[in-house]
Amino acid sequence: MSSGLPLIACPVCLAEYGLEVALGQDDARGVIREIARCPGDAATRKALLRYAALHAPAKSRLRWSRVEAIMAEINGWMEAGRIERGGRLWAAPAALYLAAIEAIEAMPALRRPLKGHGLLLEVLSGQVGRADAQAERAQETRARGTTPVGGSAAHKPFAAEPARKPTRNPEAAIAALAKAKSIVGGRNG
């Protein structure tokens, strides 16, 4: 008996099933609820699912309840906009999570399965730490009176160029003289 809803096709085996089948399991509904709750964009939601998959044991699958728990914990951090790492609170807006998860996925020596969120927290706090350092450098630059565009830059004291030993190269001298004349309009002085 058909529900009339469109069928979902498995991307691996192409088996088709109705949405009501996927939503029939309580834990699966919990994962869908956490995906919908995620404060990030679609790319962040997909990355969050991939991150949860990094916790899967090599020869078995994660339980829906474990995926839901992983996502619920991270959603809580994203909603709060902060994490705690090393006894310190770090600002961690939802926008940082996509880059952090992609950085973890790109690690060549990533040991799977992940046992917890220590690596994610380390990457996030590192990102925030680098951003904080960059902001601090920018603030120090502004305090010195320098700006990236159009401001008065801090002047360095004049330092005379080191004396160069004269070279005897008549061709270079003639070329330099011709260039100088072309700049000033070829007038003889």
DSSP sequence for 121-172: HHHHHHHHHHHHHHHHHHHHHHHTT--SSSSPPPPPPP-PPPPPPP---HHH
Which residues have C-beta within 8 Å of that of residue 152, sequence separation ≥ 6? 145, 146
Domain interval for residue 105:
38-143
Host H or E run for residue 26: helix 26-37
| pLDDT (0 to 100) of residue 166 | 62
Listed in order, strand segments (DSSP E) in the chain are 7-9, 16-18, 82-85, 88-91
Residue 150 lies in a domain: no
Position 189 scores a pLDDT of 46
What pLDDT, on a 0 to 100 scale, did the predictor assign at position 59?
A: 87
Beta strands 7-9 and 16-18: pairing type? antiparallel
168 assigned to some structural domain: no
CA geometry: angle 145, 146, 147, nearest 5 deg: 125
Q: How far, CA to CA in Å, does 141 sit from each of 134, 144, 145, 153, 157? A: 11, 5, 7, 9, 18
Report the domain count for the chain. 1
Q: Which residues contact 84 (CB under 8 A, 6 or more apart)?
A: 90, 121
pLDDT of the residue at 178: 79
Q: 166 preceded by cis ω (within 30°)?
A: no
Residue 30 lies in a domain: no
- What is the per-residue pLDDT for 29? 85
Taking the chain (189 residues) in runs of 10, the rounded mean pLDDT of each run is 72 80 75 91 94 92 91 96 91 92 94 94 90 80 70 57 67 78 64
Please report whether residue 13 resides in a domain.
no
SS3 state at 66: helix
For residue 181, being part of any structural domain is answered with no
Instruction: Say if 182 falls within a structural domain.
Output: no
The answer to whether residue 52 is domain-embedded is yes
User: Is residue 9 included in any domain, yes or no?
Assistant: no
